[in-house]
Amino acid sequence: VAGKPKLYYFDGRGKMESIRWLLAAASYDTLGNEDWLCSGSLMFQQVPMVEIDGMKIVQTRPILSYIAAKYNLYGKDLKERALIDMYAGGTDDLVGFILMFPFLLAEDKEKQCALIVQKATSRYFPAYEKVLKDHGQDFLVGNNFSWADVHLLEAILMVEEKKSDVLSGFPHLQAFKARISNIPTIKKFLEQGSQRKPVPDDKYVETVRRVLCMYYDIKAN
């Protein structure tokens, strides 16, 4: 469809998933088509790449920043933008532990799963729980829906795939999850048949390894 962004990535989550989330959050009609890798257009021979507004943008953070600003999900001033960047950056650190999980040695996966839950419940979720409790607002920054909220919900759901009751000690995050999940654009993205990708399977892992010449298993932290 003309005017929609085009996404270049593997057919799976990876670093593109947060971009899919943000585009979906922006509008029902924003999330464009996806294509296989397009190496001739990649500035640094790396994906993800998004074609949008006549540009081909690579590197995950610039893509996310552009989309957030374009669709008014990036705060009203520099102070709010700094907070959004800070919260999204913290969430991204947590998501990083999860993204590497499918590529681990089988014997390391149990250890990594425990580490993900430990990091979430002792470092990241307590911080966001305190933010929500202290300011008493519906969203993380400025009481307006932002990129930070989208990314946090994505991370919460990913950690819940490892431990379903991970939010049991975080009542404000439980309410946040319910609230953000019911925003119409988010609710639609969470429905079956959307462009949200499933948990990476063996086929996805093998494809990524083959394309990136990843002939080794990642060691757990």
Same domain, 167 and 90: yes
Q: Are residues 204 and 139 part of one domain?
A: no
Q: What is the DSSP letter of 101?
A: G
Q: State pTM to two decimals.
A: 0.88
Does 89 share its domain with 149?
Answer: yes
- Side by side, the strands of the sheet bearing 49-52 are 34-35, 6-8, 49-52, 55-58
Domain extent at residue 146: 78-183
The reply to whether 58 and 108 lie within a common domain is no
Question: Is residue 97 domain-shared with residue 129, that is, in the same domain?
Answer: yes
Domain assignment present for 169: yes
203 and 168 within one domain = no
19 and 112 assigned to the same domain: no
> pLDDT tens, position by position, for the chain (221 residues)?
457 888 888 888 898 999 999 999 998 666 666 555 555 565 555 668 898 998 989 889 999 999 999 999 999 999 999 999 999 999 999 999 998 898 888 889 999 999 999 999 999 999 999 999 999 999 999 999 999 999 999 999 999 999 999 999 999 999 999 999 999 999 999 998 888 898 888 888 888 787 766 444 444 44
Q: Where are the alpha helices (DSSP H) in the chain?
A: 17-26, 60-70, 78-99, 106-119, 125-135, 147-160, 171-181, 184-189, 202-211
CB atoms < 10 A from the CB of 107, how many? Answer: 9
67 and 83 co-located in one domain: no
Residues 60 and 137 in one domain: no
| 3-state secondary structure at position 74 | coil
Q: Whole-angstrom Cα distance, residue 82 to residue 192?
A: 34
78 phi/psi in degrees, rounded to 5: -65, -35
CATH code, domain with 67: 3.40.30.10
How many C-beta atoms surround the C-beta of residue 54 within 10 A?
5
Q: Is 89 in the same domain as 167?
A: yes
CA distance 110 to 211: 26
Q: How many domains does the chain have?
A: 2
